[in-house]
Amino acid sequence: MSTAPMTMGRCAELRSSRHALRAEQATVRWWRRLVQARLDLAVAGIAMPGPLGEAVALLPGGAPCPEPPRPLELHGATRGGMSPAAPSQLPALRDLDERLARYEHSVCDALDQVTEDLIQALAIDPAAGLRERPEAPRPI
C-alpha cells in the first residue's frame, strides 16, 4: 500500500490545523494586547504622573523647551472616556492577563507541534503540500 494518499490527507489535515491555530494565536494575542492596555491605563489612572515642564526650561545646548501639553489634556487623552479604574480592578485585570498568557502559551505549543508534524509529513511526501490547500484562516 502506498503512503502517498495517506500522507496527502495528513498534510491537508495538518495544514488546516496549523491555519486554525495561527488564527487562534492572532486572536488571543489581540485580546492580550487589549487587556494589557487596559491594565496599563488602570495603573496610570491610579498613579498618574505629575505635570510636564515644571523641571525643564531649556533643552541641552540652551534651546528653549517647547510648551508641553497641559495636565488636563493628558488626563483626557489617557482616560479615553472610560471611568477611572479602581485599585480593586487591578487584580482581576492581572488575573485575566495571566489566564490569557497561559492560553496563548498552549496555543503556541500546539502550533509548534502541528508545524513539526507537517514538516515530518512533507518530508515523507513533499508534493502532498502542493496537492491540497486548506481554507483561509478567519480574520481577527
Nearest to 7 by CA among 133, 134, 127: 127
Instruction: Answer yes or no: is 58 within a domain.
Output: no
Query: What per-residue confidence (pLDDT) applies to 1?
Result: 46
Instruction: Answer yes or no: is 94 within a domain.
Output: yes
Instruction: Answer yes or no: is 27 within a domain.
Output: yes
Range of lowest pLDDT (6-10, 66-70, 79-83): 79-83
Nearby residues of 38 by Cβ (< 8 Å), 6 or more positions away? 85, 93
Q: Which domain, by its residues, includes 104? A: 10-46+84-131
pTM, to two decimals: 0.60
Instruction: Answer yes or no: is 34 within a domain.
Output: yes
Instruction: Answer yes or no: is 61 within a domain.
Output: no
Instruction: Answer yes or no: is 107 within a domain.
Output: yes
Instruction: Answer yes or no: is 92 within a domain.
Output: yes
Mean pLDDT of the chain: 78
Question: What is the number of domains present in the chain?
Answer: 1
Residue pLDDT, tens place only, 14-46: 999 999 999 999 999 999 999 998 888 888 777
CA distance linking residue 116 with residue 19, whole number of Å = 14
104-134: b or e for each residue (b if 16 or more CB lie within 10 Å)?
Answer: beebeebbeebbebbeebbeebeebbeeeee
Instruction: Answer yes or no: is 52 within a domain.
Output: no
